[in-house]
Chain A
Amino acid sequence: MQSLIQTSSTMLFTAFIIYLVATLFFGFTIKDKLTDKRNSKLAGKIAITLTIIGFIAHLIYFVTRWLASGHAPVSNMFEFVTFLGMCLVLAFIIIWFIYKFNLLGLFALPIAMLFIAYASMFPTEVAPLVPSLKSHWLYIHVTTVAVGSGILFISFVAGLIYLLRNVDQTERNKRSISLEVVMYLIFLLIGFIVASTAFGAMDYHASFEYTNNDKVQTTDYTLPPIAAPHNGTLLTEDVMKPWFESPSWMRGADAGRKFNSVIWSFIVGTILYGIVRLILRKRVAAAIQPLLQHVKPDLLDEINYRSVAIGFPVYTLGGLIFAAIWAQEAWGRFWGWDPKEVWALITWFFYAAYLHLRLSRGWHGERSAWLAVIGFGIILFNLIVVNLVLAGLHSYA
């Protein structure tokens, strides 16, 4: 049993490394026009082959973990986010075979890797299923939602490339600044991963005792406490004293710890971003732009729309219909206005609006690209903020 879990985590790590190498090969395809075309084609073939091998490793992770735990590994934040990364790669592979578009991989794979890395920041132990999750609908509902989201993510990737290519970087205006904010947000996520990994390697721990709903609880910080829990006392000795307390309106279990992680993400992410800006001496988006000049914007728009057209029905099926059927079986109410449900509905409303806007002239191209970026933001909001902050029936971690 232990060896299965061991194999499983090795395979996940292998997948991560292969995706990294595949990204490099996708990078080699970028100079299509300048160097020999044949080399670029070869690099593309190697890259997609590696992606498929990486995906198989990822799949082995999934299967072995399933065998070890006895249930599909989609039951906590680590497992679900890892699976989302896997679905993103799957969706990319499918889209690649439709359009043979290499550049998409250069952006899609790093995002999938960010998902895996982000997932690893959550507890990775194999946890037992609580009674409410013990149902076949767990597999059906969660996997369909993840596949649907994975396909919708591709529309974000295509939209992002579109914006990086087309937004005028010579001017400082709403569009170029908004795009740079998107780039900065990606740096914050990287900042969170870097900080967690660094202090995780040092095995850093600091415990606090605090009162939540009249109960005394302890919380374990794995990052040095800048913000202590509201009314918390530090238990661990020989660690940094907190600089200030979280505000009182941040309630709920571990609110202080989560707030502290957010602060760390901002600090490390901003430093990383600052370093990159210093090296580049221009906006990050402006630095990327010249690499994308030979890409056809029409193709990006087509991929953007196509992924929504394919992803939307899958998401509806998994996130609303299967979800409702399961909720009916488990709680006797197929719809309960739980925050997670509401945000699934909001996501659905959003992509429905997107599809209707595509009917009118003027909403293709750049506007669609912005919409795809916002849609991605809404799905991530539902994944991260709703799970970790607006805890409801779905709170995993």
Chain B
Amino acid sequence: MNSIKCECGHVNPEGTVLCEACGKPIEGNQHIDGNDKKKLLNMRYEGSARRSNTYNKTIIDKIWNFFSSVKIAVWLIVIALIASSIGTIFPLEQYIPADAVSRDPSVFYEATYGLAGKIFYQLGFHQLYSSWWYLLLIASIGVSLVICSIDRFVPLYRALKRQKAKRHESFLSRLRFYSETESVQEEEIKQVKEQLAKQRYNVKEEDGHIVAEKGRFSRWGPYVNHIGLIIILIAAMLRLSPIFFFEEYVWVREGELRVIPGTDNEYFIENKQFILDTYDADDERFKDALQKEGRVVPSNFQTNAIIYRAIESEVVGAEQELEKVDEFEIRMNEPAKFGGYTLYQQGYQLNEFSEMTFKLYEMNDPDTEPLGEFTVDLFDPDLEYELDNGFKVEIAEFYPDYTISEEGVRSKTNSSNNPAFVFKLYPPNSEDAEISFVGDVIGTAEQMGIDPEVVDLSPMGQVIGTFTPSIDPTGGENNYRILIDSIDFDRKSGLNVKRDYTLPIFIIGAIIFMAGVLQGMYWQHRRIWIHPKNNGILLAAHTNKNWFGLKKDIEKAIEGTSINIVNDQKED
């Protein structure tokens, strides 16, 4: 390395712009910080030797220089900003609403948003934030963070550590705040020193040369906050591994005991009760808003659950024994935590159909006794039901989650949320079947003004059943009709299961980041130099921000002395 010896005796590394000790501009290097064209010195990094400004030969130098540029960093940020905004034009894949035309992205975007939607989907923007190019962009920001910080921190640290109280005149006179005073008494300088110390400046003296400094630690703020950000990015990377993070979803019916998925059959959950509370429409505080809303507003979702843990049985093949871990009331914003896992109240369903009983009547005579009845287990429907008196019912079509739209009749999901059937009814000893459509209890309830999302249908099941359509979809005239007689409902609670070991890393990263930002933003690094010359002094000062504050400090320090206040030599 070609080091440079300054006239003050200090040996500076290659590429130094201002001597680390005395600040004297080093000949031949002034173009690096643009000092050759200006009167004022560029003090951003104390004129220290930054690798990126010194070497530019090998490929490593080139890469280093590319990522160490603040200009490139800002461009990366701006590109990330624009890219992120694109992903909000239409909902992401995971936010396609449940009641959308289709939850298949290849259908949804085009059907809902037309050509723009199609382009959005084809460019992969429905999963933009996990696309390779977005991740690459974020990774480049990460690389830029590291290289920018190292490139500046190391030489800056050196320069600030080696700075001397005695500075070169050509350095002081080219600072933004500078003044000369012809004659100054010894006493006055002493007074200034005391004043500065009172203002919590750290005053150092060296053969009559004085430097008063405070808030140097704020110079490290940017590097500290960059460390915080890097830790956050590392945590985000770790989160991609299933060791650190996994997520599952489980539905548990009331009274049901289930293994919690993802726990290797270790933990079990029993749903004792699911509670849905709603606001009272007559509540004095909220009645106006509730009236305007026009629907029931829930106030609480809650699963009362018991968590069990499986104990390894000592006898091989014996039945697993369960040991109670704890009881929880799991609510929104109040998850259950046990053994490193967390359970979140996520969804619920009040009216899941489990069993429906139908009765058969003669068409024109509803008052008569039913001709027969049959019960369908919705979790396991049979193909055929033989009735007592020789009738036979065949299930021709079964829609567990019936809906009708422009595209016709279909089942939205495979869960029995709103069952509907097309039955073939064979009268005794007959080969010809009558066709009946029966079902859509939820649609009927909604038409009656009941909101099945928040109202238990179970007490009204039978009543609604009698209003539910039972028609011949082919338009023919039937001799018999099939009516819903009773419905058994389940209430189930949807819980999110998570285990996330990256959380503490994120929290540490966030704390370090905030500490760094505060350190860099809320404090300033202020330095005031007094340089004796003949009978008088040169007074100069520098700060990285808040020049008004620095000036006030100086005014206070020199009050009552003959020392001239510094001039602001700022150009442009």
- A320-349 vs B, Cβ < 8 Å mask (1 yes, 0 no): 010010001111111011110011011001
Q: Does A346 lie within 8 Å of B85, measured CB to CB?
A: yes
Which residues 258-315 of A sit at the B interface, judged by CB distance below 8 A? 302, 305-306, 309-310, 312-313
B233 at the interface (CB under 8 A from A): no
Given contacts A310-B521, A338-B95, contact A302 B548 (CB under 8 A): yes
Which of A2, A213, A346, A350 contacts B284, CB < 8 Å? A2
Distance between Cα atoms of A67 and B333 in the complex (Å) = 22
CB-nearest residue of chain B to A362: B572
Q: Does B518 lie within 8 Å of A313, measured CB to CB?
A: yes
Given contacts A127-B289, A249-B116, A346-B84, contact A213 B97 (CB under 8 A): yes
Q: Does A316 lie within 8 Å of B77, measured CB to CB?
A: no
Which residues 128-156 of A sit at the B interface, judged by CB distance below 8 A? 128-132, 134-135, 137
**Contacting residues, chain A, for B342 (C-beta < 8 A):** 332
Which residues 348-375 of A sit at the B interface, judged by CB distance below 8 A? 349-350, 352-353, 356-357, 359-361
Distance between Cα atoms of A330 and B332 in the complex (Å) = 6
Q: Does B496 lie within 8 Å of A332, measured CB to CB?
A: yes
A126 at the interface (CB under 8 A from B): yes
B59 at the interface (CB under 8 A from A): no
Q: Does B74 lie within 8 Å of A353, measured CB to CB?
A: yes
Interface size on B, as a range, is 35 or more
CB-nearest residue of chain A to B286: A128
Which of A128, A310, A360 contacts B283, CB < 8 Å? A128
Q: Does A313 lie within 8 Å of B517, measured CB to CB?
A: yes
> Interface segment, B294-302, B362-370, B373-381, B463-471?
B294-302
Given contacts A309-B545, A312-B521, contact A126 B288 (CB under 8 A): yes
CB-nearest residue of chain A to B446: A215
Distance between Cα atoms of A56 and B284 in the complex (Å) = 27
**Contacting residues, chain A, for B263 (C-beta < 8 A):** none
**Contacting residues, chain B, for A357 (C-beta < 8 A):** 74
Given contacts A70-B285, A316-B514, contact A353 B332 (CB under 8 A): no
Q: How many residues of A contact B (CB 8 A)?
A: 61
Smallest CB–CB gap between A253 and chain B, Å? 11
**Contacting residues, chain A, for B297 (C-beta < 8 A):** 128, 130
**Contacting residues, chain B, for A132 (C-beta < 8 A):** 332-333
B510 at the interface (CB under 8 A from A): yes
**Contacting residues, chain A, for B285 (C-beta < 8 A):** 1, 68-70, 126, 128
CB-nearest residue of chain B to A354: B74
Smallest CB–CB gap between A180 and chain B, Å? 25
- A67-101 vs B, Cβ < 8 Å mask (1 yes, 0 no): 01110000000000000000000000000000000
**Contacting residues, chain B, for A359 (C-beta < 8 A):** 44, 70
Which of B81, B88, B498, B546 contacts A339, CB < 8 Å? B88
B427 at the interface (CB under 8 A from A): no
Q: Taking A1-B285, A127-B293, A128-B289 as given, write out 4 further A-B residue pairs in contact, using a Cβ cutoff of 8 Å, ordered by the A residue number.
A: A128-B286, A131-B333, A302-B548, A343-B88
Instruction: List 18 interface pairs A-B (beta carbons < 8 Å), by A numbering.
Output: A68-B285, A125-B288, A128-B285, A132-B332, A132-B333, A134-B332, A135-B333, A213-B101, A214-B99, A248-B114, A313-B514, A332-B335, A337-B87, A342-B84, A349-B80, A353-B77, A356-B70, A356-B73
